[in-house]
Homo-oligomer: A and B are copies of this chain.
Amino acid sequence: MSDLLEEALAYAREHRDAFVQELCEYLTIPSVSAQPEHERDVKMAALWVVEHLRQRGLSAELLTTEGAPLVYAEWKSSHTHAPTVLIYGHYDVQPAEPLELWHTPPFEPSLRGGYIVARGADDNKGQHFAHIKALECLLCTTGALPINVKVLLEGEEEIGSTHLSRFVREHPELLKCDCVLISDSAMRSLQQPTIIYGLRGLLDLDITVRALEHDVHSGHYGGNVQNPIMALAQLLAEAKDREGRVLIPGFYDGVRALDAAERAQLARCAWGEAEIKKETGALQAFGEPEFTPVERRGIRPTFEVNGMWGGYTGPGIKTIIPAEAHAKVTCRLVPYQEPAHVGAAIRRFFEQRCPPGVTLEMRIGPGSPPTLLPLDNHAMRAAVQAATATFGAEPLFELEGGSIPVVHEFAHTLQKPVVLMGFGLPEDNIHAPNERFALASFEKGIEASVRFMIQLSATS
């Protein structure tokens, strides 16, 4: 082990408690990007982390966008030929609702059973904070980093990275680098590091069905006016068959068929019905019967209702026909679906089937495309080396079902390797109540990040 590595890891061990305390402070800021009432908190999180980076010796600043600000920081090596890594993460978090299912308040981090429990602990504050701490470990022991580092944190990842994609397209010089490193995914277990080489894209839509000017008495008008909840249920019900196939014509356009080789490669991942049941409490796995769970997650698109509401939702009885009903839907997209094409297919499908007696209103977002990442490059090799040394096992390569909208933009605009090496665990409850991040994930994440940077400097 090099002196540099040894000193940095010793520093990490010595400051373990302080690091956890700092992360907990970061986690108290309810930076929920989806909820307007948290707009100031989102900005507060940006201010907190920019100050934190500055105090650790990086030059750091807020870059304004039309939405949440970007945090940008950098450290320039004195070595002329040092490679540059761009570390990306996001300081915004998912809404914490339903609050009543949290065992402790979502923005009052607590340490329990080897985990930090809080909204954002894994996704993504804990994960990118591991990189920030890795930079500190190197800087505070040697006074320098072995490579050039750029840090870019955004505050709109959970709402589709609305402004970041454009920023990346418009600032290729600022973001110029040799590789991008992102920790915003999970590993199979603490003994099994995992590198993601494909991500699904995302398309979001809101559907509103209106039947009446106001809620009316279901006795006076029942049988004589359309019920918007029924109309919306009938519309949604037609979008999927009873086995989970999406029935919208054109939805699957571009989705590639799997050949035997790729099926065999995906089959190496031991993730199936047992894991799904354990992780979610599902009665059974459920999905397109022609595909395995790993295939469904990696290379099949989805149409999922994230929320639906209309009428009276309180206790007891309220005998009304509501004026309107609403649904929120997101689709996960796979290569080579095009978000605009899928959006148009969905719009056409629902408009053609709109039941009588209601108006249909759809807001369909621009969406973000899916990504497939190349594996054969120096950054990936450095990540494999760092992960293997840290966790004691060679990483698995997996397709991830989630979306990180900006990954496609990085790969496409910067034309450099992107490494997705995440430190989360499947049981971390991200996007759900009682989100958590293992202390071991945090510590190992710091170590893997330190190792990656040293390895990158050695092999470039």
Contacts of A218 in B (CB 8 A): 302, 304, 306, 330, 332, 431
Is A16 an interface position by the 8 A CB rule?
no
Most chain B CB neighbours (cut-off 10 Å) among A316, A403, A430 = A316
Contacts of A276 in B (CB 8 A): 221, 224-225
At the interface with chain B, which of A259-267, A350-358, A447-455?
A350-358
Is A204 an interface position by the 8 A CB rule?
yes
Interchain CB contact under 8 A, A215 and B286:
no
Instruction: Given the known inter-chain contacts A35-B315, A328-B312, please indicate yes or no for A236 contacting B225, CB distance below 8 A.
Output: no
Interchain CB contact under 8 A, B305 and A233:
yes
Please report the total number of A residues contacting B with Cβ < 8 Å: 106
Is A101 an interface position by the 8 A CB rule?
yes
Most chain B CB neighbours (cut-off 10 Å) among A233, A288, A426, A433 = A233
Contacts of A95 in B (CB 8 A): 312, 314, 316, 318
**Which residue in chain B gives the minimum CB-CB distance to A37?**
B315
Is A166 an interface position by the 8 A CB rule?
no
Is A337 an interface position by the 8 A CB rule?
no
Instruction: Given the known inter-chain contacts A224-B296, A229-B307, A401-B223, please indicate yes or no for A317 contacting B282, CB distance below 8 A.
Output: no
Contacts of A186 in B (CB 8 A): 220
Instruction: Given the known inter-chain contacts A97-B312, A311-B308, A332-B223, please indicate yes or no for A431 contacting B230, CB distance below 8 A.
Output: no
Is A2 an interface position by the 8 A CB rule?
no
Contacts of A220 in B (CB 8 A): 186, 297, 400-402, 426, 430
Contacts of A233 in B (CB 8 A): 232-234, 236-237, 305, 308
Which A residues between 303 and 358 are near B, CB-CB below 8 angstroms? 304-323, 325-328, 330, 332, 355-358
Tell me the minimal C-beta distance from A179 to chain B in angstroms.
24
CA distance A234 to B308 in the complex (A): 13
**Which residue in chain B gives the minimum CB-CB distance to A239?**
B230
Interchain CB contact under 8 A, B401 and A317:
no
CA distance A442 to B204 in the complex (A): 51
Is A396 an interface position by the 8 A CB rule?
no
Instruction: Given the known inter-chain contacts A307-B310, A314-B95, A433-B214, please indicate yes or no for A302 contacting B402, CB distance below 8 A.
Output: no
CA distance A399 to B400 in the complex (A): 60
Which one of B282, B283, B305, B314 lies within 8 Å of A97 (CB-CB)? B314
Which A residues between 83 and 127 are near B, CB-CB below 8 angstroms? 94-95, 97-98, 101
Which A residues between 285 and 307 are near B, CB-CB below 8 angstroms? 285-288, 293, 296-297, 300-302, 304-307
Interchain CB contact under 8 A, B304 and A222:
yes
Most chain B CB neighbours (cut-off 10 Å) among A223, A279, A288 = A223
Which one of B215, B309, B359, B429 lies within 8 Å of A283 (CB-CB)? B359
Interchain CB contact under 8 A, B219 and A320:
no
Which one of B94, B280, B309, B357 lies within 8 Å of A221 (CB-CB)? B280
Interchain CB contact under 8 A, B319 and A306:
yes
Interchain CB contact under 8 A, A34 and B314:
yes
CA distance A442 to B2 in the complex (A): 92
A-B pairs with beta carbons under 8 Å apart, 22 shown: A95-B316, A101-B214, A158-B319, A160-B317, A212-B280, A218-B306, A218-B431, A220-B401, A221-B276, A222-B304, A223-B300, A223-B401, A226-B284, A229-B305, A234-B242, A243-B356, A283-B358, A307-B311, A307-B313, A307-B314, A307-B318, A318-B328
Instruction: Point out residues on A near B: beta carbons under 8 Å.
Output: 33-36, 94-95, 97-98, 101, 158-160, 186, 200, 202, 204, 211-227, 229-230, 232-234, 236-240, 242-244, 276, 279-288, 293, 296-297, 300-302, 304-323, 325-328, 330, 332, 355-359, 365, 400-403, 426, 429-434
